[in-house]
Amino acid sequence: MTADNAASYGFFDDENREYVVTEPRTPYPWINYLGSENFFSLISNTAGGYSFYRDAKFRRLTRYRYNNVPMDDGGRYFYIRDGETIWNPGWKPTRTELDDYSCRHGMGYTRVAGAKNGLHCDVLFFVPPGDNVEIQKLTLRNDSQEEKQVQLFSLLEWCLWNAEDDTTNFQRNYSTGEVEVENSTIYHKTEYRERRNHYAFYHCNAELAGFDTSRDSFLGPYNGFDQPEAVTSGKPGNSIAHGWSPIASHAVDITLAPGESRELVFLLGYLEVAEEHKWESPGVINKAPAHELIARYGTVEQADASFAELGTYWENLLGGFQLQSHDPRLDRMVNIWNQYQCMVTFNMSRSASFFEAGIGRGMGFRDSNQDLLGFFHLQPERARERILDIAATQFEDGSVYHQYQPLTKRGNAAIGGNFNDDPLWLICSTTAYLRETGDFSILEQQVPFGNDENNCASMLEHLRRSFDHVTNNLGPHKLPLIGRADWNDCLNLNCFSTDPNESFQTTENKAGAIAESLMIAGAFVLYGTEYTDLCRHLGDDAEADRAGAAVRAMEQAVIEHGWDGEWFLRAYDAAGNKVGSNENEESKIFIESQGFCAMAGIGLEQGLVEKSLDSVQEHLDTPYGIVLNYPAFTRYHLEYGEISTYPPGYKENGGIFCHNNPWVMIGETVLGRGDQAYDYYCKQAPAFQDHVNLRKIEPYAYAQMVAGKEAPLPGEAKNSWLTGTAAWNYHTITEHILGIKPRFEGLLLDPCIPTAWQGYTVQRQFRGKQASIRVHNPDGVSKGVKRITLNGKEVAGQIVDLSACGDSCEIEVWMGGAG
């Protein structure tokens, strides 16, 4: 085995905003996401994965088998039959050794290319913004000296729409599959006869030598994807699936002279048809909408033009924040991959990745609010809509549905609520939206309670309910009651479960008004202050005074009852005992309350923040990031719930739960310790990691969890892509470290950087203006600004109001000691 460094598997191509995988046997499939609004696909570096329309559970177009052997089998595959050799441009599933292989994961597209015996095949996969179709443009080139006569086979396997049912309900499913074939288009019309108004199709723009729609016919009943009988024999079966497992495979004969190439376009489309137009004739689906979609993308020129548009789309999006620093790794995180992951988490929440099967969770209330922190600058209009959707799942008493379904936007009654941190995240996202956009009209928007259109209140009123939900649910120490859990889903202080068949998240065996959370207390001080400032800004002094008093009372309660001597406690359990105290045998210290109380600056003057963060460094910091708690639980603590079920070092039990590391980074910036904040940042940012075999997952994506210091393999990462880590890191690096902070009045410039940095520049779009910001650090400080100019003119204070300047706003910031 070669040295464990990133170069063994690929490299970043920053110019093209791509990660280039050069070795198909990555330690785990390294994936990308296609699609930006409604139609999405997951695609691995060997073209595994699947597609869905809006909801990965209810509208799954193609089938994928999680936790399969071999790993990542199934996707969209192209087989090339060149004489006796059968190969795939992405190596899988035949795994025929290639003469050359690469996979370029870019912004909303993936290009897989392979070469074998003088043939080169390149397939570009993408979803055009605004349409429900995956375009696959395939180019086959003959680099040999001889004429090549080859057969090309496509393959995908239809999912029978409901992805959960698809993996369980075989007594029904083996009888329902239905297809139609019309020229070079294969239609998946399963269940279209009854309640469905949608079908999918797979089209090829060439004349076919044959096709298959029955999996058994194409593969042969006992073969895997690696040895499809139709391909090995060179004879497509022209099969029509009736029930069992419908697939779509085109067979195309291609002859290429030396140097010649041929381009083909394949389209995987999804369509909905109005009830009265569903049928062309009895039993024959109305294909007019499909013909129309095909007519828009089916030629090489159209596919190329659409791909160019996708490039412009991303160029514009990413143009909202562009950094030039001394470190290309930092630039690549900020300018490309972190922003990209923020778009993915906005779209997917926690639904579909190679660790989330797309059938479990809907949109999480707290997750989706936090994901917005990295998204406002990308597409503020969609952020606005999301905030309103989320708010509509709140109840009159301020509590909320913990999750909602993306297809219906309705709260998920099966999970319910009582996660007492949830309401505060609505304040977090809404105030951040206001700071970014200045669009105060959102506060007047009428928003339902509990999705009931007949019972609405203004968005501002929803925020008040969120705020009051905390003060209406205080425990014995006047600290917030935790409910089922706070941010840490696995700290279940009212659960007391001895039944392995019940869920820790939804079971409360001892619902009582005792267990309290210091994390929620910190969040209340932080977001309660934002709410107070908002009321003040709106001129409602009475409400601001009322809220401010509640916030101060909470600060007092934390200082009196939440301080353990060297750090903040984590909670009080249902018996009123301390959690996360030096007195405890296990898990003496937790990260969440240190992070939140530090961000909120609780006890800053008394030195509590400094002490608490020093304790984090002493007990929780590791070479791979900060662990959640220490020492990890080694036995099951009935009174703590799920957290103690994980083996030490994993997940919420002593794992590095990356999502919460930025809270500590921000806390460090509250103290002005820029070197420490950035050190934590570098430990997490994917582009800074070089131990790829250990880390396993994509070098360009954040993971939810990295195994902690008490795990057998510290540094091993899991659960890439769908994690609040993306939004929080983006928020932290851009606002708290680089120090470009949107405020109601303009941009506040307040960097907190390593002392060694001499400066950097940022291009930032803000409320329709293009700001060019140049930061100088001549004295080598971490924090402190001595002078700011806007278009050459001195600015008083640190907030720059851009509304007065024209299209271009040149801002210069000089850091340094006072004077």
| Residues annotated as part of the active site | 489
Q: Yes or no: say if 213 and 243 are a contact pair by the CB < 8 Å rule.
A: no
Spell out where 493-580 has E strands.
Answer: 516-517, 571-572, 578-579
- The token duo for 378 is 């990308």
Whose CB is nearest to ligand GLC? 489
Pick the binder of ligand GLC from 72, 489, 508, 668 (CB under 6 A): 489
User: 3-state class of 474 per DSSP?
Assistant: strand
Q: Which is nearer to ligand GLC, 196 or 718 (CB)?
A: 718
Phi, psi of 269 (to 5 degrees): -115, 160
Please pick, from the candidates 19, 321, 487, 760, the single residue that binds ligand GLC as defined by CB under 6 A: 487
Tell me how far, at minimum, the Cβ of 720 lies from ligand GLC, in Å: 12
- Nearest approach in angstroms of CB 723 to ligand GLC is 6
Region 334-353 residues binding ligand GLC, contact defined as CB under 6 A: 350
Candidate segments 474-482, 483-491, 684-692, 790-798, binder of ligand GLC by CB under 6 A? 483-491
Q: Which two tokens stand for residue 285?
A: 């689906």
Residue type, 561: H
Closer by beta carbon to ligand GLC, 108 or else 655: 655
Q: Which of residues 491-530 bind ligand GLC (CB under 6 A)?
A: 505
Q: Hey, which residues between 705 and 734 contact ligand GLC (CB under 6 A)?
A: 723
Instruction: Report cis status (omega within 30 of 0) of the bond before 328.
Output: no
Window of 100-108, 195-203, 371-379, 484-492 that interacts with ligand GLC by CB under 6 A: 484-492
Q: Give, rounded to a whole angstrom, the gap between the first and last alpha carbons of the chain.
A: 57
Q: How many residues bind ligand GLC (CB under 6 A)?
A: 15
Interface residue with ligand GLC among 205, 593, 684, 704 (CB under 6 A) is 704
For position 642 contacting ligand GLC by CB under 6 A, the verdict is yes
Q: How far is the CB of 701 from ligand GLC (least distance, A)?
A: 15
Helix or strand holding residue 314 (H, E): helix 300-318
Least spacing, CB of residue 482 vs ligand GLC, in Å: 13
Sign of the C-alpha dihedral, residues 695, 696, 697, 698?
positive
> Which residues within the stretch 347-386 sit at the binding site for ligand GLC (CB under 6 A)?
350, 364, 366-367
333 secondary structure, DSSP code: I
Q: In the bound complex, what is the minimum distance in angstroms from residue 715's beta carbon to ligand GLC?
A: 19
Amino acid at 108: G
Pick the closer one to ligand GLC by CB: 367 or 436.
367
CA angle 700, 47, 241 (to 5 degrees): 150
Q: Is residue 488 at the binding interface for ligand GLC, with CB under 6 A as the rule? A: yes
- Residues from 655 through 684 that contact ligand GLC (CB under 6 A): 659
What is the distance, to the nearest Å, from the Cα of residue 7 to the centroid of all Cα atoms in its chain?
A: 25
CB 521 within 8 A of CB 562: yes
Q: Which of 180, 371, 516, 652 touches ligand GLC (CB under 6 A)?
A: 652
Burial class (CB in 10 A: 0-12, 13-18, 19+), 95: middle
Q: Which two tokens stand for residue 489?
A: 């889903």
592 touches ligand GLC (CB under 6 A): no
Distance CA 578, CA 476 (A): 13
Q: Which tokens in the block code for residue 83?
A: 């004489």
Who's near 264: CB < 8 A, 6+ residues apart?
A: 137, 138, 139, 140, 152, 204, 205, 206, 252
Q: How far is the CB of 505 from ligand GLC (least distance, A)?
A: 5
Q: Which of 570, 651, 695, 731 binds ligand GLC (CB under 6 A)?
A: 651
Q: Which stretch binds ligand GLC (CB under 6 A): 384-392, 482-490, 526-534, 799-807?
A: 482-490
Report the Cα 323 to chain-centroid distance in Å: 22
Supply the minimum distance, in Å, between the C-beta of residue 506 and ligand GLC. Answer: 9
Task: List interacting residues with ligand GLC (CB under 6 A).
Answer: 350, 364, 366-367, 487-490, 505, 642, 651-652, 659, 704, 723
